Amino acid sequence: MPLLTESKVFIRPDGPDKVTGSGRYVADITLTGMLTAKFLYAGISHAEIIRLDVSAARRVPGVLAVLTHEDVPERRFGSIADRTLFAKDVVRFEGEVVAAVAAIDAEAAQKALDAVVVEYKPLQVVTDLEEAIADGAPLVHEGWADYEAANVERNGNVASFTSMTRGDVEKGMAQADHVVFGRYVADATHAAPIEPRGVLAQWEGDRVTIWSSTQVPFQARDGVCETLDLPTNRVRIIVPHMGGGFGGKCGFHYEAHVAALARVARRPVRLVFSRREEFIAPDRRREGMIIEITTGLKSDGTLTARRVRVLLDNGAYSADSSFFPHMAAMHTLGPYKIDNIHAEAFSIYTNHQPSGSVRAPTAPQTCWALESHTDELAAVVGMDPVAFRQQNCIDTGETGVAGQVYDEIGLQECIREAVSGIDYGQDLEDDEAIGVAVGWWPSFPGASGAFVKIDRDGKGVITTGAQECGTGSVMTLPILAAAELGMEPEDFELVYQDTSVAPYDEGATGSQTILNNGRATVEAARQIAVQLKNLAAKKLEASPDDIVLADGRAHVAGSPESAVSIVELAGVAAGGELLLGKGSGTPPEYPSAVGVACVGDQGLSGWAGPQFSCHAVKIRLDRETGVVRVLDVSAAHDSGVIINPIGASGQVEGGVMMGIGQALTEGTVYDEDGAQKNPAFLDYKLQTMADAPPIRVHFAEVHTPNMGPHGSKPIAEAPNVATAAAISNAITKLTGQPVPRLPMTAQRVWETMRGGGDG
Amino acid sequence: MSFAIAGSLDEALAALAVGARPIAGGTDLVVGARQGKAPLPASLVAIDRLDELAHIESRDRGIRIGAMVTHSQLMIDQMIVSGYTALADAAALVGSPSTRNIGTLGGNVMNASPAMDTGAPLMVLGAVAQLRSARGSRTVELSDLWTGPGQTSAETEELCVAIDLPPRPARSGSAYVRLEYRRAMEIAIVGAAASVTLADDGTILGGAVALSAVAPTIIEVDDAGALMTGHLPDAAAAAVATAASDVARPISDLRASDTYRRHTVGVMAARAVDAAARRAAGEEIGVPVNRAIGVGASR
C-alpha cells in the first residue's frame, strides 16, 4: 500500500518559509553585541611559516580577538589526523587558515588581517598526481608517519590506498579476443551550494551555542569538542534553515574557530563566507582524478577481465577522503559481471584544496570514465551499447565484481525503462545523438535516533537528530510516523537540527536520512502505537492485538464501527502515561564480499542496499563550436520503494542538472602554483534553470528487504552518478571519439573533433 | 568616501568637474568592487534619477538613446527591435533579468569591456557617443572612444549622456550573436554583430561587421563591407568568417584559448551576417538571435 495516496500532495513543512523568504539562515541571525569574524588564509600553496606576528593586529581599534595556532589546544583531526585548526610551521594549500580575527565590523576585521605580519619560505608545490608518487617527490606532509590513523600504510604522498583482487586477471586477459585500454582525466569540481556557509557562536558561562550551516551538526559538535577540549554536553549546535549542501557542508569546518574567537572576545561572533571563500577554503571539493581501465572481452561481448588504476587528488588534508579509493575502485569496476578483476586506487596528497564528500563522492568521474570505456567495448565487438549493457550488467542473484551476490535489484529494469523513456530508436537529426550509461551507489546504514510524542489534542511532534540539507528528507519523516499511527503527516511538527535536544544522527550525508532516521522514527512511532492500542483495547473491550490504527481512529479489526478517536485516546493519556516513543533502529548489517583482498582498505567489504540507475540523454552538438546542448533526459532509478514521489523525483531532477554541469561546464582550473583560477560563478559555470531539459523519471520500485523503511533505499546521491557518462557517450557518437577530459567543455569537444587538444 | 545624488544633469556635471565618478546601475562598479577588481571611487555621484537620460527618442536623423536607458528597455523597444535589431539581440543576452533591469547602455559603453555585448552592435549600426561636461559637449566615434580594456578617451569630467544612431537604409537588417556555454548568466566568449543592406536582386549592397572579446576593444572588421558587397549572403558570410578570424587578436584565458576564440569568432561573424541578411530580406527572426535560430548552446 503506498504511503501517500496519489491524490495526496505532501507539502513539505519548511516549504512556505523558504519560498516566501521568511525562513532564517545563519547570516540572518543577529545577536546583541555580535562581532564579525574574518580569516587570514595562507594565500600560498606550500610554504614554511618563517614569522607570524599578530601583535599589531591586536592593537587595531575595534578588534576584540586575534587567534593563531598558539591560542587553541594542539590537536590534529580528520579521518587521517593530519590537520589543525590553524596552520603551524607549514601551510599546505592556499585556503589554509593562518589566523582569525573578530572585530566590531568587517572593515575593522579587514584592517586587523592587513596588520598580521606573516613571512613564508616557499616550498616545492606538489600538484601533479603522477609526479607526486614518483620516487623522490617532495612530501606534502614530512612528518605524517606520526599522525594517528587507522589501517593506513605510510608511503610517500599516498594518503590512502585500496587494492581489490578477485579471480586471476592475467588469465582473464589471456582468454580475451580483444583488450581495450582507456585513460580518462577529470578536473576537480565543487558542491557550490547557494548559501555560503555561516557560523555564529555565543558563550554563556562555560557552555557554547553555535549556529552553523552544517549538514552534520553532531560531527560539527564532536569536532568542536575534540579541538577545544570540551565535553559534548557543553557544546550545542543549532542549524537554522540551510541553503543547500551537496556534501560541501559535511564534516567539521569552522565551528571551533568561531567558538574560540567568541570565547576570547567575550561577545557573540559571526562568520559568513564570501563566494570566493566558499570555493577555496573548505575541505570539501570533488577531487580530480586520473582513471585507467583495461578490459578484456570475447567477441560475443563476454567480459573476461578488468584491470583499473585510479589516482585521486586528495589535496593537502584528509577530511573524509580516506574511503574514496575503495569507492573509486568499485565505481571503475562497475555493476558488471566480471570474474577476474584487479583494482588499485590511490588518494594522493597534493597542495590543492582538500577533497571531501561531494554528492556521490568519486562516482560521477569514475562512472564517466567506465561508461565511456563501455561504449568503446561495445563498438569493438560491434554491439549496440544498450544490448551490451543488458548482457553484461548484474541482475538479481548474480555475483558482482567484489564477489557480492545481489538480492532483488532493478538494474535491468532501469536500463529498459531509461531507453524506452527517451525513445532510443527514434530518427535523429545528424547533429543529434542519444547516449546511455548505468551507475550504482551504496547505502550507508548507521546510528540515528528520534523521539515522537503525541500531546493531549492528538497532535504530534517528531524530535529528530537528522539534518535537513534541502533534500526534503527530514520533511518526509511525518509521512512515516503518520503511517504507523493511522494519522496524517500534517498532524506532526518537527523539532530538528539541535544537538542538545535530539538524539545523535550522522547527519545529511551519504543519502542516509530516511534510511537511518526513518527507521528510528518508525520505531519511536511504533512504541506510541502500542500505547494507543492498549488504551483503545481497554476502551473498546478488545485485545490490543485486534486494534487497528487508521484514519485518525483506533478500531477493532473487522468492526470499524467499534472505534475511538486518537484525539480522545490522547486526552486520556495526557492524564496518565504520556504518549512518548523513542527509536534508534538497528542498522542493517553490511553484506560480505567474498574473495576480495583489500589492502590498506578504508572502505566497505560489501555494498549494503546498492542503488542502481540508468540515464539516457539526447544531445545536440554544434559542430562548428563544440557546444553541446542537452535536449532530453530519461532517468530510471532503483532506489527501492519510493516513499515520497515528489521529493524523490526532485532529487533525480537535481542530480541530473548537477551531472550536466559536471559533464559540460563545471571544472576547477588550477594554476601551476596550486591556486584556483576560477573561484567564482562567472567562470565556474553551473547550469541554470534556462538550461534545464525535460527530465523523465522512472522508479524501478523493487521492494528491498533489510534496508530502509517500507522496502526503501536512499535516493539523494544516486542521480548524480550517470549523467555525465551518458552525455559523453552521446558526444562520442557525433565526434567519433570520446572527449578524454571532464568537463567536456565546448573547446575540448571542438579540439577532439579536430583530432588534437590538450587531453 | 562621499556619495551624492544628482538632482539634475548640471549637478552631476558639476560633481564630475570636482573629481566625482558617476554611478548609474552599478552592475560593473559595485560588483567589481565586491570582487576586489577595483575599489569603489572615493567620491560618487549617482545619476540614476536623471530621467531626462532614460528615454529613447526618434530624431530627424535617426534615434537618440539616453545613457540611462536599461538593457531591459532596449530589448523590447519597438524602434530598436525593428530598426536596430542587433542592439536588442545584445541587450537581451546581458547577464540576468536583474542585471538587465538595472544596467544601463551608457554604463556598458563607458565601462569599455572588450567582452561587452552592446558594443559590436553599436559599432555596426554607426553609433556615436554624446559626451557632456560642465564646459561643453562633444560627439565621439566609438572607435575613438574605446582605447583599451576598461579605458576610454573621455575626460574624467565628461559624462556619456546619450548614444546617437543614424537612420537605417531600406532593406537593412542587423544581428548580434555570441558564443555562450549556457543560456543565462553568461558573458561573451566571443561575439559578432553584422549590419547588412540588400540590393533588389538579393545581393548585398553594403554592411559592417564588428567583434566582441577578441581584442583589447570591440573591433570592426574593416574590409567586411567590401567583402560582402555584390555577393549573396552565403558567400558573404563565408568571406567574413575568414576575415573575422584574421583580424581577431584574442587572448587565451579561462574561458577559451586564443585558437578556439579565433575560430569561433569567424563562426559567429558568419552567423551574424546570415541572420542580418535574412532580417534585411524581411524574415522575422526573434530577439535574441541566439535563442531564435540557435547559436552554440541556444537552440
Mean of all residue pLDDT scores within chain A: 94
pLDDT of residue A602: 46
Q: What is the pLDDT of residue A91?
A: 98
Please name the residue of chain B whose CA is at the shortest distance from the CA of residue A758: B257
* Residues A91 and A98 sit within 8 Å (Cβ to Cβ): yes
Flag whether pLDDT at A453 surpasses 80.
yes
pLDDT in tens, A694-707: 999 999 999 998 89
Contact at 8 Å (CB) between A623 and A704? Answer: no
Q: Which element (helix H / strand E) includes A331?
A: helix A324-333
pLDDT at A675 over 50: yes
Whichever domain contains A220, its CATH number is: 3.90.1170.50
- Please indicate, yes or no, if residue B284 is contained in any of the structural domains: yes
CA B74 vs. chain centroid, Å, equals 11
- Picking from B178, B264, B289, B290 by the largest number of A CB atoms within 10 A of its own CB, the best residue to mutate is B264
550536466: which residue's cell? A660
Which three three-digit cell numbers place residue A469? 540539507
| Burial class of residue B164 in the structure, from the number of CB atoms within 10 Å of its CB (0-12 exposed, 13-18 middle, 19+ buried) | middle
Given A624, A677, A687, which is nearest B182 (Cβ)?
A687
Chain A 86-145, CB below 8 Å of chain B: which residues?
none
Contact B297 A691 (CB under 8 A): yes
Is residue A312 a contact partner of residue A345, using CB atoms and an 8 Å limit?
yes
Confidence class of residue A596 from pLDDT cuts 50, 70 and 90?
Answer: very low
A719, A655: one domain: yes
Distances A84 to A149, A282, A633, B288 between C-alpha atoms, Å: 15, 13, 44, 53
Q: Is residue B90 part of a domain?
A: no
Query: A257 and A300: one domain?
Result: no
Question: pLDDT digit string (tens) for A307-318?
Answer: 999 999 999 999
pLDDT band at A55 (very low <50, low <70, confident <90, very high): very high
The answer, yes or no, to whether residue A593 has pLDDT greater than 80, is no
The verdict on a CB contact (< 8 Å) between B185 and A625 is: no
In a domain, A156, yes or no: no
**Least Cα separation, residue A82 to chain B (angstroms):** 32
Instruction: Catalogue the long-range contacts made by A650-653 (C-beta closer than 8 Å, 24 or more residues apart).
Output: A650/A471, A650/A472, A651/A471, A651/A715, A651/A716, A651/A719, A652/A695, A652/A697, A652/A715, A652/A719, A653/A692, A653/A695, A653/A697, A653/A719
Identify whether residues A313 and A414 lie together within a single domain.
yes
To the nearest whole Å, the CA of A599 is away from the closest chain B CA by: 40
- Let me know if residue B273 belongs to a domain: yes
**In terms of domains, do A431 and A467 share one?**
no
The number of domains in chain B is 1
User: A301 with A326, same domain?
Assistant: yes
The ipTM (two decimal places) reads: 0.95
pLDDT given at position A605: 63
pLDDT for A144 equals: 78
The nearest alpha carbon in chain A to B258 belongs to A747
Give the three-state DSSP class for B12. Answer: helix
A677 contact residues in B (CB cutoff 8 A): 254
Count up the domains in chain A and report the number: 3
3-state secondary structure of B257: coil
* Gap between the Cα atoms of B114 and B136, Å rounded: 28
- Asked if A625 lies within 8 A of B187 by C-beta distance, the reply is no
- Domain end point (choices A244, A272, A300): A272
End-to-end C-alpha distance for chain B, whole angstroms: 47
* Mean pLDDT (chain B, rounded): 95
Long-range (24+ apart) CB contacts under 8 A made by A629-633 are A629/B297, A629/B298, A629/B299, A630/A660, A630/A664, A630/A691, A630/A693, A630/A727, A631/A432, A631/A693, A632/A422, A632/A693, A632/A694, A632/A696, A633/A422, A633/A693, A633/A694, A633/A695, A633/A696, A633/A723, A633/A726
Q: Is residue A280 part of a domain?
A: no
Cross-strand partners of A318 = A355
Q: Which three cell numbers stand for residue A243?
A: 541553503
Answer for the pair A566, A487: CB distance below 8 angstroms, yes or no.
Answer: yes
Cell numbers that stand for A296 in this block: 578484456
Q: Would residue A173 count as lying in a domain?
A: no
Q: Are residues A301 and A421 located together in one domain of the fold?
A: yes
Residue of B nearest to A628 (CA): B297
Task: State the residue range of the domain holding A358.
Answer: 289-444+592-753
CATH value at residue B213: 3.30.390.50
Check A625 against B181: CB less than 8 A apart: no
| Residue A659 falls inside a structural domain | yes
Of A623, A23, A718, nearest to A409 (Cα)?
A718
The reply to whether A557 and A663 lie within a common domain is no
B94 touches chain A (CB under 8 A): no
Average pLDDT over residues A58-81: 95
Partner B contacted by A9 (CB < 8 A): no
Looking at the fold, whether A397 and A456 belong to one and the same domain comes out as no
A625 touches chain B (CB under 8 A): yes
What averages of pLDDT result for each successive group of 10 residues across chain B (299 residues)? 95 97 92 86 96 95 97 97 98 95 97 96 98 97 97 97 97 97 93 98 97 97 96 97 98 96 98 97 94 61
- Chain B, residues 165-224, CB within 8 A of chain A, namely 179-187
Does A530 touch chain B if contact means CB atoms closer than 8 Å?
no
Residues 218-277 of B with CB under 8 A from A: 254-257, 260, 263-264, 267
For residue B69, tell me if it sits in a domain: no
Q: Evaluate whether residue A185 is within a structural domain.
A: no
Look at residue A184 and tell me if it is in a domain.
Answer: no
Q: Residue B75 falls within a domain, yes or no? A: no
Q: From CA A196, how far away is CA A213, in angstroms rounded?
A: 9
CA of A745, closest CA in chain B: separation in Å?
8
User: How does strand A289-297 pair with strand A460-464?
Assistant: unpaired
A273 interfaces chain B, CB cutoff of 8 Å:
no
Is B32 among the domain residues?
Answer: no
Asked if residue A428 and residue A314 are part of one domain, the reply reads: yes
Given a cut of 60, whether residue A600 has pLDDT beyond it is no
Cβ burial, residue A71 (10 Å; 0-12/13-18/19+) = middle
- Please check whether residues A723 and A637 belong to one and the same domain: yes
The answer to whether the peptide bond before residue A560 is cis (omega within 30 degrees of 0) is: no
Contact A355, A328 (CB under 8 A): no
A629 CB neighbours in chain B (<8 A) are 297-299
Q: What is the pLDDT of residue A151?
A: 62
Are A621 and A662 found together in one domain? yes
Which of A624, A680, A690 shows the shortest C-beta gap to B183?
A690
A86 belongs to a structural domain: yes
Residue B291, chain A, CB below 8 Å: the answer is no
State how far the Cα of B189 lies from the Cα of A682, in Å rounded to an integer.
Answer: 12
Q: In what order do the strands lie in the sheet with A450-454?
A: A492-496, A460-464, A450-454, A579-583
Do residue A475 and residue A430 come from a single domain?
Answer: no
Domain that holds residue B179: 172-288
Q: How far is B185 from chain A (nearest CA, A)?
A: 8
| List of chain A residues whose C-beta atoms are within 8 Å of the C-beta of residue B28 | none
Helix (H, G, I), strand (E, B) or coil at B222: coil
| Identity of the amino acid at B262 | R
**How does pLDDT run across A218-259, given as a tens digit for each residue?**
999 999 999 999 999 999 999 999 999 999 999 999 999 999
**Are A627 and B299 in contact (CB < 8 Å)?**
no
Residue A192 lies in a domain: no
**Where residue A579 sits, what CATH number does that domain have?**
3.30.365.10
**Residues of B whose CB is below 8 A from A747:** 256-257, 260
The residue out of A563, A583, A603 marking a domain boundary is A583
